[in-house]
Amino acid sequence: MTVSQAAPQSQAFKPKLMGGKKTGRRFAYAFLILSIVPILIGYTWLVIATLSTRTEGLLPRDAEGGIGGFTLRNWDFISDGAIWSAMFNSFLIAVAMVIGVGIASTSGGYALSRFKFPGRKAFLTGTLVLHAFKAEMLLIAIFFVLRWLGGIPLIGGYIGFNTVGGVALVMIALELPLGIWLMKGFFDALPWDMERAALIDGASRFRVWWQIMLPQVRPGIAALALFTFIAGWNAYLVPFTFTIGTKVTNMPVFLNQLISDTAPVNWNQVAAVGLFQMIPLIIFFLFTQELLLNIYAGGSKGT
């Protein structure tokens, strides 16, 4: 199915730019390779830099200026507890966001796609407008909300100011407009007949959503999960603002602490931490990749 998707594109390429089908494909490959080169160079530098004392371009240099100077010193932070706690916090924020955004978006997106209720249109446009507000503009207002949440008995200690829960809550809220609209789009694309059939077969509304509709939008859920996980994993501004002056810190904040204004910065160590931060994302991507590719294959076959 991916083949049939690629075909119209290369056909669109062919007649205008080149003569034959083969040359068209060659041109496409050349274009892709050229545009990917800068990115590849960047990653190559990243890997080389983490393993050497210093670099000049892509070449690792030792103290005397000759080629060489291999070292593992830049990775010393691994044995330090701070990075693991930062990583754990990043993980908590990301997972909480995937769960929170996932539940709210799949249920909200379904309702907005299928039900008619007062305020539906206002809600849809409202979320879009809200999404246009950058998080920076809301920081102060959110601060008051978090302080108030922190005052709630029992759960206040987990979701207030200066907590991972509070950060996750804010990040979920900021991510929801995207999530709801994305899932609504996926539900919109599903035929009504399938859920009508399920209703007639005896299923309740909830069961229709859970057993019939959700399995059809799995690629959408995977995409949303990946976006949300990345957003949570790379979250900087919100955690930096609302966990200030405590030991609660996540990976991006930790990384930023390495770049101090006063002392000389060890860029090779920053590169190593950066690379380290990417590893879980790569693993996560490997798991969702197949589902993600399905998005373009149309998701459900046979209907």
Partner 1 sequence: MRVELDGLSKAWDGVVGADNITLDIADGDLVAFLGPSGCGKTTTLLMVAGIYKPTAGTISFDGVVVNEVAPKDRHVGMVFQSYALYPHMTVFGNISYPLRIQKVNKEEIRERVQKVADMMGIGHLLDRKIAQLSGGQQQRVSLGRALVKEPEVLLFDEPLSNLDARLRLTMRGEIKRIQEDLGITSIYVTHDQVEAMTMADKIAVMSEGVLQAYDLPEDLYDHPKTLFVAGFVGNPPMNFFDVEIMSSNGGFHAKSEAIDLALPDDRAQKAAVAKGNVVMGVRPEDVYLVDDTAPPSEGSTLSASIEVVEPLGREDLVGVTIGDVQLRVLVDKTKGARVGDNVELAFDLSKVQLFDPESEKSLLWK
Binding residues vs partner 1 (CB under 8 A): 191, 193-194, 196-204, 207, 212, 215-216, 300-303
Question: What's the closest the beta carbon of residue 200 comes to partner 1, in angstroms?
Answer: 5
Q: Which is nearer to partner 1, 63 or 200 (CB)?
A: 200
Q: Which is nearer to partner 1, 3 or 263 (CB)?
A: 3
Question: What's the closest the beta carbon of residue 123 comes to partner 1, in angstroms?
Answer: 19
Distance (Å, rounded) from C-alpha 19 to C-alpha 44?
36
Q: Which is nearer to partner 1, 193 or 261 (CB)?
A: 193
Question: What's the closest the beta carbon of residue 269 comes to partner 1, in angstroms?
Answer: 48
Question: What's the closest the beta carbon of residue 233 comes to partner 1, in angstroms?
Answer: 30
Question: What's the closest the beta carbon of residue 210 comes to partner 1, in angstroms?
Answer: 12
Q: Which is nearer to partner 1, 142 or 217 (CB)?
A: 217
Question: What's the closest the beta carbon of residue 107 comes to partner 1, in angstroms?
Answer: 19
Q: Which is nearer to partner 1, 54 or 218 (CB)?
A: 218
**Type of residue numbered 34:** L
Question: What's the closest the beta carbon of residue 298 comes to partner 1, in angstroms?
Answer: 11
Q: Which is nearer to partner 1, 105 or 216 (CB)?
A: 216
Distance (Å, rounded) from C-alpha 260 to C-alpha 267?
11
Q: Which is nearer to partner 1, 266 or 288 (CB)?
A: 288
